[in-house]
């Protein structure tokens, strides 16, 4: 199993450009999520999904869109990139047991490092 | 808002010493998780402690949970240079599907 795969690993954008960060998992996990990590801020939840066709907002959803058309994939879209979105983005996945992720360890990808000029 | 807050923000120790990191959280929880992040990598799950547990061990890791104080601690015994990493606590906000992380403790173990 490859686990959680994020592409690309690095990207530089200009302000106003759009981009899709890819996330794929091969563990048949129901739950997937996106975080951003900034220095001194820890990880902040952007969006999450509890299954195909279902998404919801996290702590910092503004400026980001997501969709979940398959169990395996959970892309994150930046429609009009801003310098404030310069960050490291992490995707994670886990099973859900009894309709909850509460007792489930999350599996993380290695991140996408995004710079917006 | 972030649920967990780790303390200290940074910790530097010598190889062989013990390292203790603390986490405080705000609302009721079902369990608390600890993760490790090596530089430039994704997070790796270390240990999960349930709300009805007070202490849990895994190898050189010892985690405690005090629900009355809304706090947890992670102890790494006999530390090694390879333990150098950032450590994060995480909790699921009650009734939600949102896993919220603290800001982390950066541990440096000097050879």
> Could you give phi then psi for residue B102, rounded to 5 degrees?
-80, -175
Query: What is the CA A51 to chain-centroid distance, rounded?
Result: 14
Average pLDDT over residues B44-53: 95
- Tens of pLDDT along A7-25? 999 999 999 999 999 999 9
Residue among A58, A63, A72, A2 nearest A30 (CA): A72
Chain B interface, best mutation among A21, A35, A105, by max B CB count within 10 A:
A105
Residue A111 has a CB neighbour count (10 Å cut-off) of 23
- Tens of pLDDT along A51-84? 999 999 999 999 999 999 999 999 999 999 999 9
Give the nearest chain A residue to B33 (CA atoms). Answer: A105
Alpha-carbon gap, residue B43 to A89, rounded angstroms: 12
- Tens of pLDDT along B56-88? 999 999 999 999 999 999 999 999 999 999 999
């Amino acid at each position: 199993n490859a686990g959680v795969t994020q592409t690309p690993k690095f990207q530089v954008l200009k302000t106003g450009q759009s981009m899709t960060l890819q996330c794929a998992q091969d563990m048949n996990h129901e739950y997937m999520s996106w975080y951003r990590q900034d220095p001194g801020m820890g990880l902040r939840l952007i969006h999450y999904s509890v299954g195909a066709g279902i998404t919801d907002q996290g702590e910092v959803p503004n400026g980001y869109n997501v969709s979940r058309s398959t169990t395996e994939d959970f892309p994150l879209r930046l429609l009009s990139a801003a310098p404030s979105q310069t960050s490291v983005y992490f995707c994670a996945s886990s099973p859900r047991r009894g309709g909850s992720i509460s007792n489930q360890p999350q599996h993380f990808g290695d991140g996408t490092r995004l710079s917006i000029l | 808002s972030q649920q967990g807050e780790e303390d200290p923000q940074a910790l530097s120790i010598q190889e062989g010493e013990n390292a203790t990191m603390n986490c405080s959280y705000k609302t009721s929880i079902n369990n608390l998780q600890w993760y490790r992040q090596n530089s430039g990598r994704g997070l790796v799950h270390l240990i999960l402690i349930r709300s009805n547990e007070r202490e849990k061990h895994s190898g050189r890791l010892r985690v405690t949970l005090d629900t009355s104080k809304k706090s947890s601690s992670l102890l790494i015994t006999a530390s090694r240079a390879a333990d150098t990493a950032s450590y994060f606590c995480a909790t699921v906000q009650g009734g939600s599907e949102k896993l919220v992380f603290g800001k982390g403790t950066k541990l440096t173990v000097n050879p």
